[in-house]
């Protein structure tokens, strides 16, 4: 069991106020996000058909929850891991113009997750996707969108402070950008997670650019599937990738804390390149990949931002189970209860 018990931890809110605060944060943030990114809400699926290529395979090793459909000759469906590819198909179906997009409440089950303070079997996030003009498919545009999302985070943190004055704002005025390769060069003896901890401790809020491609040491900063984010594009000498993670410093757990993963999505050339790099070129025959290669899907940028993660961070909770209902090992429940951490 991997569990952090902060010394002297005391919840900022009693359980009944926690419920109100969770609702407040979710309402405030999604309103701010829709206005900042020109998004409209759509309804998301909980599961998709297996074998279509629509489900997100994350790092390529996580097993989706699968079940047979009686009324469809036992054809298998999969509970979604995320909606990275499904959203892009919806942009095409709704013919949404460049600069506008969609968002949805995504709920998922990740049965292979290692349970700890931050990770749950149950995943809830705002999944968003926006149509991209060809001239905006570049790193500067990605960073502009990140800055807009960061302003939304600061806005809701400020609103939480107005409602609960004892929870003081801690986000810095600006978010810092750094390439994963530059981060490796700055901390060459540390692991990727240790590098994140050091850089986020230093700046408070960081967007790590370029996650999924191989670094100069032959390793990966973190895993990414080959068929949604573009992590192989060379944008300037020594700089690779049009995706990244928003990380903030968590003072309760004393570590870097990921709030969002996002990026500019693959175009035809990036998809072919990344499928070859990962050795899974057979995916070109799947429905989603065929549509992309045939020019039937728009260029896009998108990502996900954890709802429970955001609530946990803004309410200074020690465990994600304080803001969502899931299943936890008995040993974890007992250890948390002894420390005053009430899991739902």
- The string of pLDDT tens digits covering residues 126-174 is 999 999 999 999 999 999 999 999 999 999 999 999 999 999 999 999 9
pLDDT in tens, 164-216: 999 999 999 999 999 999 999 999 999 999 999 999 999 999 999 999 988 98
pLDDT computed for residue 238 by the predictor? 62
Contact present, 262 and 304 (Cβ < 8 Å): yes
pLDDT computed for residue 25 by the predictor? 98
Tell me what the pLDDT averaged over the chain comes to.
93
pLDDT in tens, 77-106: 999 888 888 999 999 999 999 999 999 999
In angstroms, what is the C-alpha Rg of the chain? Answer: 20
Distances (CA, A) of 57 to 83, 119, 215, 228, 285: 10, 17, 22, 10, 16
Band of pLDDT at residue 235, cut at 50, 70 and 90: low
- pLDDT above 70: residue 1: no
For range 41-65, the mean pLDDT:
82
Contacts of 117 (CB under 8 A, 6+ apart): 3, 4, 253, 318, 319, 320
Highest mean pLDDT among 7-21, 187-201, 214-228: 187-201
pLDDT computed for residue 59 by the predictor? 61
Band of pLDDT at residue 58, cut at 50, 70 and 90: low
pLDDT computed for residue 47 by the predictor? 92
For range 284-310, the mean pLDDT:
95
**Domains of the chain and any CATH numbers:** 15-338 (3.30.930.10)
pLDDT computed for residue 236 by the predictor? 64
pLDDT computed for residue 126 by the predictor? 96
pLDDT computed for residue 4 by the predictor? 95
Contacts of 292 (CB under 8 A, 6+ apart): 88, 266, 268, 271
**Rounded Cα–Cα distance for residues 50 and 88 (Å):** 18
Q: Which of 305, 295, 185 is nearest to 245 (CA)?
A: 305
Mind spelling out the 3-state secondary structure of 241-300? CCEEEEEEEECCCCEEEEEEEEEEECCHHHHHHHHHHHCCHHHHHCHHHHHHHCCCCCCE
Q: Is 204 left (phi over 0), alpha (psi -120 to 50) or beta?
A: left
- pLDDT above 80: residue 57: no
Band of pLDDT at residue 237, cut at 50, 70 and 90: low
pLDDT computed for residue 193 by the predictor? 94
pTM of the model: 0.93
* C-beta neighbour count of 97 within 10 angstroms: 12
Provide the annotated active-site residues: 56, 110, 125, 245, 258, 261
pLDDT computed for residue 324 by the predictor? 95
For range 45-69, the mean pLDDT:
82
């Amino acid at each position: 069991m991997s569990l952090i018990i902060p010394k002297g931890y005391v919840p900022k809110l009693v359980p009944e106020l926690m419920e109100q605060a969770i609702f407040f944060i979710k309402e405030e943030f999604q309103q701010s996000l829709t206005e900042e990114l020109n998004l409209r809400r759509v309804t998301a699926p909980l599961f998709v058909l297996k074998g279509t290529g629509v489900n997100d395979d994350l790092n390529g090793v996580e097993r989706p929850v699968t079940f047979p459909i009686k009324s469809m000759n036992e054809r298998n469906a999969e509970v979604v891991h995320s909606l990275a590819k499904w959203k892009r198909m919806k942009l095409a179906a709704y013919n949404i113009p460049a600069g506008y997009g969609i968002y949805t409440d995504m709920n998922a089950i990740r049965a292979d997750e290692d349970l700890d303070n931050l990770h749950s079997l149950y995943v809830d996030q705002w999944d968003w996707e926006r149509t991209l003009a060809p001239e905006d498919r570049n790193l500067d545009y990605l960073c502009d969108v990140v800055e807009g999302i960061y302003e939304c985070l600061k806005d809701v943190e400020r609103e939480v402070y107005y409602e609960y004055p004892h929870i003081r704002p801690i986000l810095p005025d600006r978010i810092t950008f750094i390439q994963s390769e530059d981060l490796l060069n700055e901390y060459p003896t540390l692991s990727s997670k240790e590098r994140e901890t050091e850089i986020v401790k230093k700046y408070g809020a960081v967007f790590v650019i370029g996650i999924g491609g191989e670094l100069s040491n032959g390793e990966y900063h973190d895993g990414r599937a080959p068929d949604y984010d573009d992590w192989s594009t060379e944008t300037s000498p020594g700089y690779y990738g049009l995706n990244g993670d928003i990380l903030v410093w968590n003072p309760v757990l004393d570590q870097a804390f990921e709030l969002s993963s996002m990026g500019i999505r693959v175009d035809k050339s990036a998809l072919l390149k990344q499928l070859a790099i990962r050795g899974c070129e057979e995916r070109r025959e799947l429905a989603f990949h065929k549509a992309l290669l045939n020019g039937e899907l728009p260029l896009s940028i998108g990502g996900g931002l954890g709802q429970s993660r955001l609530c946990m961070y803004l309410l200074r909770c020690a465990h994600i189970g304080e803001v969502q209902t899931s299943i936890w090992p008995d040993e974890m429940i007992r250890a948390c209860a002894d420390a005053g951490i009430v899991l739902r």
